[in-house]
Amino acid sequence: MTIRRRTIVHDGPGGPFEGVFAWDDADATPRPGVLVIPNVLGQKESDNLKAEALAALGYAAFACDLFGQGKRTQRGEGASRYMDDLNADRALLRERLRASLGALTAEPEVDAEAVAAIGFCFGGKCVLDMARAGLPIRGGVSFHGVYDRPDWPSVDPITVPLLICHGWDDPLGPPAAVVALADELTAARADWQLHAYGGAGHAFTDRAMPAGHAGFGYDAKADRRSWEAMSHFLQVAFKNNEIVAEVPAA
C-alpha cells in the first residue's frame, strides 16, 4: 500500500477552487470515492490527512475547497468570514458542493457511481445540504455538524442515507436543534441514524482544539467511536463494491 496525494484545481461558481486528492496507487482499478468537507477554517492539512486515512481504508478521497483558492482562515477574529458568506447564500453553497462532487468523480481512480461525503462542523452542515439537494451520493456522515435548514426546499423524499455523529454537549447543536433535525429527516422519509456521544462537545474530532472551553474541544473517545461508526456506515453504503481494508485503530 502506497498512499499518494495530488492537488486538484477545478472550476465552480466563484472559483477556482483547490483541494487535495488521496488514493492508494497499489490498486489500479476505480474504487468508491469520498468527499471530505472541511470546517469553518477551510481546506487544510488536517483535512488532507483525513483523505489519506480514507485512502488507507480502500477509498479515493478528495479534501475539497468551498471558499476559493487561497481563501483560508485561522482561529480567532475573522475565522468565519468565508463560511459566513456561504451561510448567507445557501444556494451558492449548494452549487459549490455540486462542483466539488464533480471534481471528485472526474478522477480516474474513482468509481463515479459510488461516492459518499463526510464533513466536519460547517462541513457537516454541507453533507446535510447535499442530501437535502438530492446530490448523487450513496451516503453522508456529519461530524459535530450544524443543523439549520437552508432557505431552498429540500427534495422529498431525501434518499441519501445519513449518519449524524453528535457531541451531546455541543452548544452549536443543543437538544432542540437535534430534535428539529430528526423531525425534518423523518418527515422527508430519510434513512437516518444519530450517534450522540456523552461528555463530548463541538469539534470533538479536531486534535488542534484542546478541551477546556465549555462545550468545545477534542475528545479522543468520541473521535475514535465516530470514525469506527463512519467506517462501518461507508462499508454498508458501498456494499456492492469490494472494500478489503480493515478499520484502523484511532
> For residue range 12-27, what is the model confidence (pLDDT) as tens digits?
999 999 999 999 999 8
Chain Cα centroid distance, residue 133: 15
Task: Look at residue 122 and tell me whether its pLDDT is greater than 70.
Answer: yes
Backbone angles phi, psi at 119, to 5 degrees: -155, 155
Residue 241: predicted pLDDT: 66
Residue 77 burial (CB count, 10 A): 8
Mean pLDDT of 231-246: 76
Q: What is the pLDDT of residues 41-90, one digit of tens each?
A: 999 999 999 999 999 999 999 999 999 999 999 888 888 999 999 999 99
Peptide bond into 157 cis (omega under 30): yes
The 3-state secondary structure of 97-165, one letter per residue: HHHHHHHHHCCCCEEEEEEEEEEECHHHHHHHHHHHHCCCCCCEEEECCCCCCCCCCCCCCCCCCEEEE
Domain 3-237 belongs in CATH node 3.40.50.1820: yes
Residue 95: predicted pLDDT: 98
Cell readout for 213 is 472551553
Residue 37: predicted pLDDT: 98
CB 94 within 8 A of CB 73: no
Give me the residue spans of the domains in the chain.
Answer: 3-237
CB 202 within 8 A of CB 173: yes
